[in-house]
Structure 1
Amino acid sequence: SLGLSLPSRLDTVRPAPGAARPAPPATDLRLLRAYDALLDRFVPPSLLVNDRFEVVHTFGEAGKYMRQPGGRATLDAVQLVHDDLRIALGAGLQRAAKERQAASYQGIRARFGENDELIKLTVEPLPERYGDHLFFFVTFEAVRSAPPASPEPRVFEPEDQLRQHLTDVEQELQYTREHLSATIEELETSNEELQATNEELVASNEELQSTNEELHSVNEELYTVNAEYQNKIDELTQLTNDMDNLLSSTDIGTVFLDTQFRIRKITPAVSASFNLLPQDVGRPIEHISSNLEYASLMEDLAAVRDSGRKIEREVRNRAGAWLLMRILPYRTEIGAIEGLVLTFTDITAVRRAQQDLRQSEANFRQLADFVNAIFWLTSPDLRMIIYVSPAYEKLWKRPLESLCQNPVSWMKAIHPDDLEWVEARLNARDPAEEWEAVFRIVHPDGSIRWIRDRRYPVFDAKGSVIRMAGISVDVTESKESQQRLELTQFVIDNAADMILWSGPSGRIDYANHSACAFFGASGATLQGRSVEDLRILPAGETWASVSSRLLAQGQFGWETAVDRGGAGLVPVDVGFKCLRFGNETYFFAIVRDISQLKASERELSRYAAELERANESLRQHNRELDEFAHLASHDLKEPLRAIMTFSQLLSHDLGGNLPPDAVRDLEFITGASARMQRLITDLLALSRTGRGEMRKEIVPLRHCVDSALEALAVRLKETGASIETGDLPSVAGDPTMLTQLFQNLLSNALKFTENSRPVVKIQARRDGPSWLVSVQDNGPGIRPEYAEKIFQPFRRVHVKPGQEGTGIGLAICRKVVERHGGQIWVESEPSGGANFLVTLPAGVETQ
């Protein structure tokens, strides 16, 4: 032991990081130099190696045992030592590191120049760790010089070699003892000197320790303050860089102004509004030319500075771009206004989009207002109405307010037969899928309409359903057309006639069931066959000639016979028509089996011949009957006139000589003869009315009524009757017969109205293609059971003794009306008068 007392805490005099290292005192340098001299003198050649086996420090003449290998520089102790020592050093380091004990090797032969030496190598781990590393102390001790190798080989003798080795060891040991004793003596002397020096160093070290502790405290405080300031500087630098990058990269033109409106900072994007350069910072903004069509900038700046309230305006620059200008106060942390911030955001695209949106909304609303379809938007669960077009009221016939108040009230209009399945489908639907249904709704008036409802999900950017959009269309006409089309298709498919059509090629595209059955083929088999294969074309003609005629004429038909094998030749009527739909041409054919028709025609011909013979016989009988009626009326009237004449002569000749009974009998004979004469006249009129030739012309009914009133003038005067006539039309008919019709109806009304003054109303009104004429009286009326019987010949009701009439008048009226193609009937209640109604074919408008 050298007995040196080194400082125990060298780190106490270590300056703080970043602090200036103080110059060591002169006594410390001398002491260190003394230490180095002592170590070089008294410490054998040694190495200090760390736990990575790297050389940290060398002592004494350790360089004698070290060599720098060629190539890259290294600190590896094994690579740096003499080649003959590498194996021993490597083994010693490994052993000391593993066992934590010293490892020593003796008698290592090493050649230095021309001499060989025996070396003792010791690797000793230091007793404690310094920091995180373990250190090893490696010493090299030369035992003695090895004898030079004999130039001549000798025989190897183990015993001699062993004795020689023991001798060498003893000599080496003796040398080591002597050398160690001398060294100890020298070290004791040096130790006494170093002890005195050490005591001085300890005193100085204590003083330095106190000073170091004070400096260390100050240094820590300064280091803490310095670190805080450095963090603040770094943060401010980062914020400044962020702000500079933000201002340079933003598309928003920004100008920072102080309270005097002087420019403090700008962004490059502001050049679209002001002609600013970086060197304009510090100048008043009113001195900078502006590209804005905006004259009140300075007034607005002053207003914001004074009031502290921001101002937003949409302005336009000279290039036509629209900008959103904001003027905001620049406030400090305590809220004081120390300037203004002027920003300009390009909103040209926004305004254009807003204009396009307004136009789109206007177009949509026009579409929604005028299209007969309901456009709507709802929440995904259909529980909230976002928008419904006005067509809802037109299609649903219900107020729009009720739907907005109750979003599911539209379902109340669904037909009861459709409501259950519509609700089931709505409840089972997936909100993310499209939905469509066709159902019926019932209007408040009971009418039914068909509705096609389609619903589409609307997704956001994340794929979530945010609302449902839909359209409801009235498809009643389409549904009815489809039903009519299906009915038409059913009728065509099941029609008794054979129906088929083809294209210009003559290949059959369709054939109904009757055609398939007639030609003995199925629909699939018949389709694609040529029309010529059916053998229904006119004799000697082909499809090319027939289709050419159809294209030229449009349609034509013919009769032919089709050979049906065992059924023989069957006559058919074929009709073809050319139809064009756009650019397509089709040929439509109806083939009718006329075998029954031909048989019926033959039968009808036979019946027609028989009927003609019967008609001729009937015409002959009518002629004979007319002659008989004329002769009978003449022959019957002649005796009656004689009876009436002689009865009158007898009454005149006898005068007052006749007894009362005879007078009564003569009056009875005369009255009976007169009634018989009227009956014969009415019978003749009835016969002529049913068979006589009728003229057809436009007859004003007013003229017919006036003629009838003239004929009944005496009777009208006697009864004091009132005739009320409305606007009467003109009809197509025979004027004589129509006059007779009104005369008989008026005479009948006057005849049966006795207890009061007769009142007769004649009116007319249009009833479709005919005129309905009414003749209403105030007589006793006719009971319903007699309403039909009164129009039969000789049937009279409510007849009193002595009342005129033959029962032929109303029968004649029915004959006249029926020959004009009309009808006559009576509507009446007992004691309520009778109203005779007549329909006559229309002629021209009422005059």
Structure 2
Amino acid sequence: MSRLADLAEPQIREILQLTEQFGHIGFWRLDLKNQTIFWSDAVFNIHGLPAEGGPPALGDAINAYHPDDVPKVQKAVDLAMETGTGFEFRDARIVRPDGTIRRVYSKGECRLDADGHPLEVVGIFQDVTDDFESRKLASEARERLELLTASGAGLWEYNVADNSVLVSRALQRLLGNDRGQPFTLPLEDFLEGIPDAEKSKVWQALFNHVRADIPYLIEHRAKHADGRTIWLRSRGIAERDEIGRALRVVGTVEDITKEKLDENALKEAHSRFDLAVAGASVGIWEIELPNGRMFVSDRLKEITGAPVIASEEADRFVWKPDTFLSNIHPDDQPRMAAAIEAHLTRKEVFEQQYRYRHTGTGEWIDVMVRGQAEWDEAGTPVRMAGSLEDVTDRTRFVSALAASEERFELAVAGATVGIWDWDIVEDKSYWSPLFAELLGYAPGELVPNRETFAGLIHPEDNDATFELLDRHLSEGELFTIEYRLRHKSGAYRWFLGSGKAQINADGTPVRMVGSIQDIHDRKLAEERLRMANLDLERYASVVSHDLQEPLRKISQFSSLLNEEYADKLDGDASLYLDFLIDGATRMGQLIRDMLDYSRLGEFALKVENIPVADCLTDVKLALGSRIEESKAVFKLSGEAEIEADPVLLRQLLQNLLSNAIKFSGGKTPEVEIEVVRDASWDRITVRDQGIGFDMERADRIFEMFGRLHRRDQIAGTGVGLAMCQRIAELHGGRIMCASVPGEGAEFSVSFPRRNMALAA
């Protein structure tokens, strides 16, 4: 293998030319002794200069940089000349002769002579404008996404590895299918509600963003759960690894149906607009397409401020189309040209808003242009005429309106929500009219500031509220709190306050938006519920003592009577005594079951990972005599652990296994316990081979005292499965059953994993 040093000079020159061609990197050399510069062709191209004229002097080369960047470039060159060190700077600006600005990367290395004195500086020079703009656009896009995320818009997250999409509750509500918590589904299912004509467009846009980092921003239609079609604007940003591969895409979805309806209505109105509007406030233009002559009205000249070439016709102005088009903003020119082409070739509606440089002031104005072409019999466009309207004020108004509507994007949707917006930098606040109305005031009657709020809040809630606010602004702690505000009537009412601060790049909070929601009725209901629970506790205490004590005596004396006088009682008396003992026993068990059920309402969950085998061992000990008598066999399979409260899980499993033994139908009970877990749920299933039940009557099985068999056939209180359902509900889960008479029954209980419960 040859080294670079072994190659001939023409070969080296060819390699350097290929490097410039494919890598867009130029080379330069500064002779420190003679103060002369050598530039490669790529360096000339980047500067926008012809190579034939030779490189400029050192001072002129430095002055080609933007005035703000000249000092750092001069300092780097001087330091290299004085000390013999290299230099490097990135994103510096050079100004081309035509006025355009390019961002460049330059790196130099000093070479020394035999005595160690600086001899020359050689280096590379690269145009990084596109890279700089891409980084800038990516940064701006991330900032926009962060604001949209904070606003509570519909969020989604696409996992590239498994091709799945996590859907937030806000997006579910937007689509009308709220499941109560975020959920994950395949990308194909996520796109299911999009019409086939647009689905491929959405998929391609996402694919282009993932593979080529093309910005993902697209508008499309979707089917709402109520059957209507809505318009959505979807945008997203990919998170990439160190080599640029997309790992996930996080994005937002906005409902723009109203915007689209307004847009379509506007288009219908414009379709009725004449080709020329004499005496109107819009400017009129006309182009003779065969010769390119363009005629414009006085009003159009006033709008654009552009000079015109005098025409022989006193009431008209003649304009060159190229002159007109050159003053359109460079970013809007391709779109304008494409719209004209689409209208002339495919007869698409021509209506465009773009930025135009006012010739008189040099400022950019927003104009709306509409037009209609005429075609000859052969289908060739021969003429096009239309109007031009200055919509700068309207655009600014729409922008101001959009900024105003941002105040509402962060607020919780609801019927009794007041919005507030605090400009922290200027210390100015906005309170919505409903904010004042919730407190009994007319709009504008309250001065929206911190002092007013401090005067409204209950003294007992003041410190906690403002301390949480300070922690939110300094540490980012979630700002959601319940407090009391003084109504105009003088009474205090309970409110739920929430908010979100906007933090700038240096970590300083600059704005905070939030809401207050009247929860006074809910708080009163909670207090009534608390008092009812206290009454229930007292009732449970009475039941526990005043009912169980007499029952114990009845049971004890009945048993004693049976033992002492059984041989002296006739058949009927013995039967009646057995009924008495059995009734007292069942009554005692029913009271204990009801007490257990009532205590579930006050139970504080302590969810943890529980070894199922250990829990099963405890249950088997509790059911020891029944298992021994029935010779029941239990088989445990599946996962080793489950997330649940250990006390309630033992109670649930004991009830289900007790039922499996009870309803075995005289056979040896064989019971399977299976544990399955996934990312969102833990599920425990108990299957038996007992007598089963008819599924048509299954709706009664979880009711309090619900029974499918007569008490004289199978003993029980009908409370056990009701307790199982309550235990599942306390965990935020559910219980389901399945059975075939004579073939056994299956009960499956699902518990949400803690990560899913937190996400919800």
Q: Which of the five TM-score ranges fits, normalised by the shorter chain?
A: 0.3 to 0.5
State which structure, 1 or 2, has the greater radius of gyration over its C-alpha atoms. Answer: 1
Instruction: Pick the structure with more strand per residue.
Output: 2
* Higher relative contact order structure (alpha carbons within 8 Å, sequence separation ≥ 6): 2
TM-score in terms of structure 1 length = 0.34
